[in-house]
Amino acid sequence: MYIKDIELHNFRNYSDLKVSFNKNINLFLGDNAQGKTNLLEGIYLNALARSFKNARDKELIKFGEDYCRIKSSFVAFGDECTTEIVISRDGKKGIKADGVKVTRASELLDRLFIVVFSPEDLKIVKEDPEKRRRFIDSELCQIRAGYLSELNDYKKILKQRNAYLKGEHIDMDLLAVWDVQLARFGTRIIEKRKNFIEKIDKISNDIHQKITGGKETLELRYEPSEFNPENVREDIRNRTTGHGPHRDDFKISTNGVDLRKFGSQGQQRTAALSLKLSEIKIIEEEKGENPILLLDDVLSELDNDRQVYLMNSLGENQMFITTTDIVGEVAKRLPEGKIIKIRGGEVETEI
């Protein structure tokens, strides 16, 4: 699986850009705030029709313009494919897969698999549960059919219920209608998350032991928050839904020690790297394809040993790497590829 090229029109700081890519390594070089990450964002958008930075659609449109367009061509499962997305300032989004209009973004799933490494991912272990939920959801959206729709349905119902709880008068019968729906979708989400954590627990531990030379074991423990209609009085009092998958978390430990509370920065980053590498392994096992990897300035956040281990682990995948510079041992280990120098939303040179 690899991306052949991409076209960006009025996307972020790009007016018009078309650039082709190498099947193996594509290095985006340039100073900060020149558009390197924006280019990665455009690539990712063609897989899931949303930004990996959780930006709103209208924020992707170049300032002063009414719309943006992103189109890419890629090879997957031996077939040549295209995806085109047009986003309007009024919130409308048009999507075409191989030239045919699709009505839901979820129809893009199972076509192109992408894993992102960014400095934010190194905070999975130590920061708030929302980051860990996002890690689970981003992977499940790609490997489990229907998960994205179930998650969106759950969030929609949750938003409606929370808005109603903030009102002055609560009709218990009406609230019960939302409760039934939340329980139904919540149960499905929790079951899929539970199975995912069980699988990734073993894979990430194997990777973690290799990175640490067998000195540390990694353990993941799912901590679900199941929605229970019996908590309705508490919810009415607090004017929000206090339980459900939107409050899920999972605990990350090495050698029995809770990394979020007691782990060193090095241990936390090693665990985060193990989790991200396990994403790749699961996609390869589940889908029979090597996912495309986006490394957004992550090399500068890792010490030399972890950089070398990361690069040695990714030989079979097409990679897109953003950096201000690349030197040392990692530069020596990179296979031949393409260097794309970016400045001010334009490609200056391609090597």
- Per-position pLDDT tens, the chain of length 351: 999 999 999 999 999 999 999 998 899 998 998 999 999 999 999 888 889 888 899 999 999 999 999 999 999 999 999 999 999 999 899 999 999 999 888 888 889 999 998 888 888 998 899 999 999 998 999 898 889 989 999 999 999 999 999 988 899 999 999 999 999 999 999 999 999 999 999 999 999 999 998 999 999 999 999 998 889 999 999 999 999 999 999 999 999 999 999 999 889 989 999 999 999 999 999 999 999 999 998 887 887 788 878 877 876 789 999 988 776 556 666 667 898 999 998 887 777
Question: Which residue carries 């090095």 as its tokens?
Answer: 266
**Rounded distance between C-alpha atoms, residue 261 and residue 257, angstroms:** 8
pLDDT tens digits, residue range 156-203?
999 999 999 998 889 999 999 999 999 999 999 999 999 999 999 999
Do residues 122 and 272 lie in contact, with contact meaning Cβ atoms separated by under 8 Å?
yes
Residue with tokens 């705030």: 33
The whole-angstrom separation of Cα 335 and Cα 344 is 28
**What contacts 345, CB < 8 A, 6 or more positions away?**
12, 13, 14, 15, 17, 34, 35, 38
Token pair for 71: 């189109």
**Token reading at 253:** 């430990």
The residue type of 69 is R
Cβ atoms of residues 81 and 73 within 8 Å: yes
Residue 267 has which token pair?
């241990």
Pick from 101, 89, 87: nearest CA to 45? 87
The pTM score is 0.88
Dist CA 247 CA 145 (whole Å)? 23
Q: How far apart are CA 260 and CA 203, in angstroms?
A: 20
